[in-house]
Structure 1
Amino acid sequence: MRIQDIIEGKKEWRAHMARVKALPQDYRIVYKEIQKYLFKVGPVELTEETGILSGIVDLFEEGASVGKGVLEVTGSDVAAFCDDLIKDSQTYADIYQESANQEVNKAMKKVIDKRE
C-alpha cells in the first residue's frame, strides 16, 4: 500500500466520521454500537467507500431527514439488523475457515498418499 493510499483512506474515514457526528444523538449512539458489533464480526467490505458503514450512514441520514427515530429505521433488535446487512458479505472468519479447511485437506492428502 502506498503512502498516498493511506492518506486518502484517512481523509475518507474523517469525512465519514464527520457525517456520523452530524447525525442526531440517538442515531450516533446506535451507529457506534453497530460499528462495534460489525468490527467484532468482521465483514471484509466494512469501510470501503461503498461498504456497509457508509451505507448505514446514508440510511441514517435519510431516516433523520424525514424525522424517524433511529429504531424506526433499524428495528428494536439492532444486532439482527446488522446480521441482515452482512448476511451475503464475506467475513474474515469465512476467509479463515476456508484457509483452515484447505490446510487440513492438504495435510490429509499427504497422510493418505503416504499410506498408499
Structure 2
Amino acid sequence: MGIQDIIEGKKQWRAHTARVKALPPDYQIVYKEMQKYLFKVGPVDLPDGPLLPGIVDFFEEGAAAGKGVLELIGSDVAAFCDDLIKGSPTYAEIYQESISGEAGATEK
C-alpha cells in the first residue's frame, strides 16, 4: 500500500464521515452505535467494503422520506447489524476456526 492509497483512503473516509454528520441527530446516534458494533464483530471486508456507505445511503433515503430511524431498522440495532453481515466472514469466526484447528492438531 503506497502513500497515494493511504491519502485516497483518508479522503474517502472524511467524505463518508461528512455524510454521516449531515444526517439528522437520531440517525447519527444509531449509525455510530451500528459502527461500533460492526467494528467489534468485525466483518473482514468492513473497512474497504460497501457496508458502511450502504448504511449511510439507506439512512439518507429514510431521512429524506421523513421516517424515523427506528422505523427503518427496528428497535434491535444489533439484530439489524447481524442480518446485514449474515454470511460474511468475520474476524471472530476466523479466530474461532484457528483455535479449533490448533486444538485438533494437538490432540492427535
Q: How many residues align?
A: 108
TM-score (norm 2): 0.90
Superposed displacement of residue 39, structure 1: 1.2
Superposed displacement of residue 49, structure 1: 4.5
Task: Give the AA of the match of 1:44.
Answer: V
Q: What's the Cα RMSD here?
A: 1.4
**Which residues in structure 2 correspond to 1:38-77 (within 5 Å)?**
38-50=38-50, 52-77=51-76
**Which residues in structure 2 correspond to 1:81-100 (within 5 Å)?**
81-100=80-99
Which shows bigger deviation, 92-101 or 73-82?
Answer: 92-101
Superposed displacement of residue 100, structure 1: 2.1
State the SS of the aligned residue for 2:67: coil
Cα distance in 2, alignment partners of residues 12 and 53 from structure 1: 12
- Contact 1:47-1:54 at 8 Å conserved across structures: no
Unaligned runs of 5+ in 1: 110-116
RCO higher in structure (CA 8 A, sep ≥6): 2
Matching residue of 1:28? 28
Among all aligned residue pairs of Structure 1 and Structure 2, give the percentage whose two residues are the same amino acid: 73
Cα distance in 1, alignment partners of residues 8 and 49 from structure 2: 11
